[in-house]
Amino acid sequence: MDFTPEETILQSIISARKWISAQDTLKAGLRWIFYNQTGQIRKGSEVHEYVSSPLMAEVLACKAMLRNALSSNIENLRVFGIVSNIKSLSDLFNSISFFFSRSKNV
């Protein structure tokens, strides 16, 4: 999906203002968009309060995206952006481990 330069600038200004106002409140705005081969099929957003870090915001965004994919009956999913963001943020730690277990994640 292509955006005009005007749309890009407007969205950047809106996002920057939201980010600035959220810095004092520890709020995190989460947003996701699902696409298929023909275009956008669903989008959503949530606001969470008392989010302690950018890494926690990424975790909450990933959880919300997966929950919404399931409720939308989306069976095949490719994730872009989040994994590289988590990777770059996790590089700030001396040690970090990720565990994925479907049976224990309830």
Q: What's the predicted TM-score (pTM) here?
A: 0.54
Closest CA to 105 of 71, 79, 67, 58: 67
Assess if residue 79 is contained within a domain.
yes
* Structural domain count, the chain: 1
Assess if residue 64 is contained within a domain.
yes
Task: Supply the pLDDT for residue 106.
Answer: 54
Residue for token digits 């309830």? 106
∠ CA 25-26-28 to the nearest 5 degrees?
A: 115
Task: Supply the pLDDT for residue 52.
Answer: 80
Assess if residue 10 is contained within a domain.
no
Assess if residue 83 is contained within a domain.
yes
pLDDT tens sequence across 58-104: 788 888 888 888 888 887 777 776 666 677 777 888 887 777 666 66
Task: Supply the pLDDT for residue 76.
Answer: 79
Closest CA to 57 of 19, 96, 28, 18: 28
Enclosing domain of residue 66: 51-92
Average of per-residue pLDDT across 5-30? 77
What's the mean per-residue pLDDT of the chain? 78
Assess if residue 14 is contained within a domain.
no
Amino acid at 36: N
Assess if residue 74 is contained within a domain.
yes
Is residue 15 helix, strand or coil? helix
